[in-house]
Structure 1
Amino acid sequence: MKLEAVFVDRDGTMGGSDQVEYPGKFKLFSFTLSSIAHLQQCGVKVFSFTNQPGIARREAHVSDFEQEITAFGLDGLYLCPHLHGAGCCCRKPAIGLLEQAAHDHQLNLSHCAVVGDRFTDIVAAHRAGCLSVLVQTGAGQDAIGKAQAKEWGNINPNYVARDLPDAVDWLLQLK
């Protein structure tokens, strides 16, 4: 399979914890930059894929996230700024962000992957036809335990990884 792009959730996957941490307070995991670079060196685009309702609550600004993602060396940012329940088409598990990225970068979503620590990431990947990897960092351990209680309990990740480097290794061995 030709892996074109990987969409990486921000909070709990690239760094931070299972809570939202805004730019300036957000800390990457020690392995994140090397994982991003490894994918890019293999010709894979890497995008941030995140829900950030604090923007709607005026606790942060889109430009703060754009500056942060640029500093991390990612190829781009796909962000939902809306509150839960707003009915938008971009808040995960909706696939509006993935569809926008596919349009912007001429991607075939069946040749892309989503890596995240919540089942909303996995469901979005499934709905868009992407591979999905659930990492056990952030809220990942809790997500595994709660999966069967959710309405999408029959949707499973393609792989459960310890962390982002494990996810990257698994994805690249498919290439």
Structure 2
Amino acid sequence: MRAVFIDRDGTLGGSDQIEYPGEFTLYKGVEEHLKKLKDSGFLLFSFTNQPGISEGRSSREQFRKELLGFGMDDVYLCPHKPSDQCRCRKPAAGMIEEACYDYHLKLNECFVIGDRLKDMEAGIRAGCKTILVRTGSGEEALLQLEGDHEGIFIHNVASDINEAIKWLLRSL
């Protein structure tokens, strides 16, 4: 099975800050492009760090309901704070590995789309192809790449998720 793992904040919509369910809006054209991915046989997974859950600002269920409503096949989220040092929080690959187990994925046929280097690192660690978008924190991530970030290989840089999906579909 092929899948695309998509970060939430700054990638699907919103900004480079966490916006909780009810405040978050998708970027223009995203639902249409997500449908094209699904129609091409990809499973769609949201994978997102949401430490506000452990702080009581929102719930796992609220995030799941929102993201499934956008067309995701499943939602993988890390509710932990960075200090918890869990194995699911990006840049660790735990959420991707869990989906691989749940859905019997071939990770070399999977993609990660995100706006931060930690999204790219999680994808690389899992063996996925990576696409960095310039929305959200994407421009900052590109500047960081010019620094000392050995081992981070990005397969494509796209202006936004819609362009990322177009590139992905053309590359098949």
**Residues 1:162 and 2:159 aligned together:** yes
Find the counterpart in structure 1 of residue 98 from structure 2.
Answer: 100
Find the counterpart in structure 2 of residue 9 from structure 1.
Answer: 7
RMSD: 1.2
Q: Give 1:85 shift.
A: 2.3
Q: Give 1:71 shift.
A: 1.2
Q: Equivalents in 2 of 1:15, 1:161: separation in Å?
A: 15
- Counterparts in 2 of 1:25-174, with a 5 A limit? 25-149=23-147, 152-174=149-171
Q: Give 1:153 shift.
A: 3.9
AA at the equivalent of 2:16? D
Q: Equivalents in 2 of 1:111, 1:96: separation in Å?
A: 18
AA at the equivalent of 1:96? G
Q: Give 1:50 shift.
A: 0.4
The secondary structure found in structure 1 opposite 2:58 is coil
User: Structure 2 regions of 5+ residues with no counterpart?
Assistant: none
Q: Equivalents in 2 of 1:93, 1:62: separation in Å?
A: 20
AA at the equivalent of 1:91? R
Which segment drifts farther, 152-161 or 113-122? 152-161
Do the aligned partners of 1:9 and 1:50 also contact (CA within 8 Å) in 2?
Answer: yes
The secondary structure found in structure 1 opposite 2:82 is coil
Q: Equivalents in 2 of 1:153, 1:85: separation in Å?
A: 24
Q: Give 1:119 shift.
A: 0.2
TM-score by length of 2: 0.96
State the aligned residue count: 172
Q: Give 1:98 shift.
A: 0.4
Q: Equivalents in 1 of 2:133, 2:108: separation in Å?
A: 20
Q: Give 1:32 shift.
A: 1.2
TM-score by length of 1: 0.94
User: Structure 1 regions of 5+ residues with no counterpart?
Assistant: none
